[in-house]
Structure 1
Amino acid sequence: MPQSTLRSTLLLGLSVMTLAGSYAFAQKTVRKPDRAKPPQFQSNEFSGVFFADARSQLQGQPSLGSGAQASSTDSAMAASDDASQAESTAQGNDVWKQLISGPSIEDLVKESKSRVDGIITTPAKFASGGYGDARREFTLLGSLMGIIAQYPEEIRWKASAPYARTAFARIAANSKVGTQPVYNEAKLRQQDLQDLLKGTKLNGTAEETPWADTADRGPTMQILEWALRENLAPHTSNEDNFTNNLDEITKYAELVAAYGQILQLEGMTDADDETYTQFAAAMLAAAKETLKAVKNKDPDLARSAVAKIDQSCNKCHETYR
């Protein structure tokens, strides 16, 4: 081997050995970073904080629908369950006794009589718009007479109620116009109402009158709006109003509850629509919650319950007209 080649080989070997030694030395001298020691836990340190099996705490089924649809009907469905529980304890005509009292019915009839006397005065006033007010009042009176006729115990006007229901429902249906013949009929029904309050039994033939004809949805919604906006809402707006109007709140909450039941009866418009009946049931449940607030003298609960009545009405109006 030539001397120059041997020298090159020796130099290469020395270089490799030097690099290897330097690498090993570097490995020994590089400082490892400081690390925190792992924490030590006691076996029961987090008892009661986490579930042993989270899956065991899951309830119900996941909602696969849109959030907007779910939120619009949740309260109505919950209230529908409450109303169903009430119906389980009161079937058929017995339900009226749970929803509205005899004194409330009597007061509502008397107050309506006062308004009717201010509406049915002259043909001109009746024709200029009074017929619409008359339609609302006679719808209310027909509904109250329908309840009286089906009430499970004796209350005032029960003997006259079947005929009065027929007569008031007929004039309510006819009062879509303000013609002279309709005005003349309204005057006769006004006299019937006067005779009722005097204690006179009405003479007439009662006809089978379905609830859909007794409580037509248009004027019924006007009655509910009036009960809510002009009575329940202002009477529960603050603690003083609540305290000073307990009897009035009771009366109108019972009226709303009764109409909540009527709207769900077989044959009523949309009574076969589950969503519609859920809204009616929600209104009924909120009215009963209002009555609970009166019983417990709880103004905050009353205000919340009346707001629920308003909410159920608004949601219903968004879909049904």
Structure 2
Amino acid sequence: MNEPENRLRQKPILRSAALSYTCLSILLLFTGCGGGTPPATPQPQPTATPAQAPATSVAQTAPTQPAKSDEKKDSRKTIDGIPYDVWFDNPLAVAGNNQAVAPVSLPGNTVAATPTTPAPAGEMKPAAASGTPTSGGIDWKTIMPMPVLESQVKDIRNRLTKNMQSVGTYNNSYLEIPMFTSTLAALAGIVTEHPEDVGWKKNAKHLRDLAAGISAAPLKRGAKSFREIQVPYEQIIVIMNGSLPAGIAAADEKKPLSEVASMGDLMKRADIASKWLKSNVGNADALKSEKEKVIEEAHLLAAISKIITTEGYGYVDDKGFLNHANPMSDASLKMVEAAKGDNFPQFDESLTRVYKACTQCHSEYKE
């Protein structure tokens, strides 16, 4: 019944909505959907230019990334393309409290950037140092003359005397002691086979075993460890003075060097020697002023590189290892020859050969 009335009430509302819609359409027709009059000449190019700019910037900077990397790589000092820092780090650069052995650069040091080109390893094998790779067949008179060996032993004695003064001095140096006692054991072992004489040669086997005993187990800080090695240390001093300590244990006349000196300790000592030579003998004047020490350290390098080729170290039949160790020994003897003749170019070249042999060997054999 009320349906017609409801329809009449709805018509004004519908008419009002329709009128509003018509007005809005007319307004949009005159003003445009974009809110204003569009430009007469559209220019899409400017919008493309900013979009291209980042791409251009990336293209320019991308090549510069590897270029910086190359500059960093090229700045490293190398020997035949082998970086110097390949050689293992030396945690004992200062080897003793009474004698500084840390490398100290000298003006005009040219060792690190030597222009010489080392010859292949096989080209350096002089007959005097080649030797059969067994301790009994090595020419120790050439590789380690007795006066040089005795001087090295005295140096170790002085270090041990300094280190063993008290528990305090022991605590400050106990990490380095095995390196020097292993070296001492190896040198004493050489004496038992050496054709030349020294005052304590008849007791060299005892000195060898006493020094090896100190290095046999890791040392620790404290009075207990100090007392454990104090007795063998004192017996070592007695032997170096030319006597035999009372009650000392029997010792074998001959013993493989591998049983008395660890390869790791010997290589630490070789590291000190080579780094000292590299840093402190950088020109002809330095070679002359340090001649005596250069000769001793070069002989020691020759001896160590020969020792590690003997029975027991595991490389006596390894031709690859011998092709590194033997040239290192030969190059060390060339340094001796150069030092005696004040021939710095020959010394520089030989030291480079030593570093080449070491870096190549460690890249293949170091674990």
Q: Deviations over 1:61-91 (max 9, x none)?
A: xxxxxxx9xxxx9733333x44687427x99
Equivalent residue, structure 2, for 1:312: 357
**Could you list the per-position Cα deviations for residues 97-155 of structure 1 after superposition, in whole angstroms to 9, with x for gaps in the alignment?**
111111111111111111112323444554x5633211011011101100111112322
Which residue number in structure 2 is paired with residue 118 of structure 1? 162
Which residue does 2:36 correspond to in 1?
A: none
Decide whether the 8 Å contact of 1:102 with 1:156 is kept in 2.
no
Contact map agreement 2:331 2:353 (CA 8 A) in 1: yes
Farther off after superposition, 115-124 or 296-305: 115-124
1:263 and 1:277 in contact (8 A); partners too: no
Looking at structure 1, the residues matched to 178 and 282 of structure 2 have their Cα atoms a distance apart, in angstroms, of 30
Match among 281, 286, 289 for residue 244 of structure 1: 289
Q: Deviations over 1:219-245 (max 9, x none)?
A: 111000011112x22443111110112
Higher helix proportion: 1
Number of matched residues? 246
Aligned mates of 1:212, 1:85 — CA distance in 2: 20
Which amino acid letter does the alignment assign opposite residue 261 of structure 2?
A
Contact 2:135–2:307, Cα closer than 8 Å, also in 1: no
Aligned with 1:215 (options 238, 261, 267): 261
Q: 1:266 to 1:100 in 2, by over 3 A?
A: same
1:139 to 167, 179, 182: 182
C-alpha spacing 1:309/1:206, structure 2 compared with 1 (3 Å): same
Aligned position for 1:161: 204
Give SS of 2:192's match: helix
Correspondence for 2:145? 101
Q: 1:278 to 1:182 in 2, by over 3 A?
A: farther
User: Within 5 A, what are the aligned runs for 1:50-129?
Assistant: 75-79=120-124, 81-82=125-126, 86-87=130-131, 92=136, 95-123=139-167, 126=170, 128=171
Partners of 1:159 and 1:201 within 8 A in 2? no
Give the partner amino acid of 1:107.
S
Report the Cα distance in structure 1 between the residues aligned to 2:233 and 2:153, rounded to whole angstroms. Answer: 12
Which runs of 5 or more residues in structure 2 are unaligned? 1-80, 82-117
| CA-based RMSD | 2.7
Deviation, structure 1 residue 179: 6.3
Structure 1: 5+ residue stretches without partners: 1-67
Alignment of 1:6-21 (within 5 A): none
Task: Write the letter of the residue equivalent to 1:104.
Answer: V
Structure with greater contact order relative to length (CA < 8 Å, sep ≥ 6): 2
Partner of 1:264: 309
Instruction: State the match for 2:30 in structure 1.
Output: none
In 1, the alpha carbon distance for the partners of 2:214 and 2:127 equals 32
Shifted more, 91-100 versus 253-262: the winner is 91-100
Secondary structure of the equivalent of 1:272? Answer: coil
**What percent identity do the matched residue pairs reach?**
22
- Alpha carbons 1:134, 1:175 under 8 Å: kept: no
Cα pair distance change 1:74/1:267, threshold 3 Å = farther
Give the AA of the match of 1:266.
Answer: E
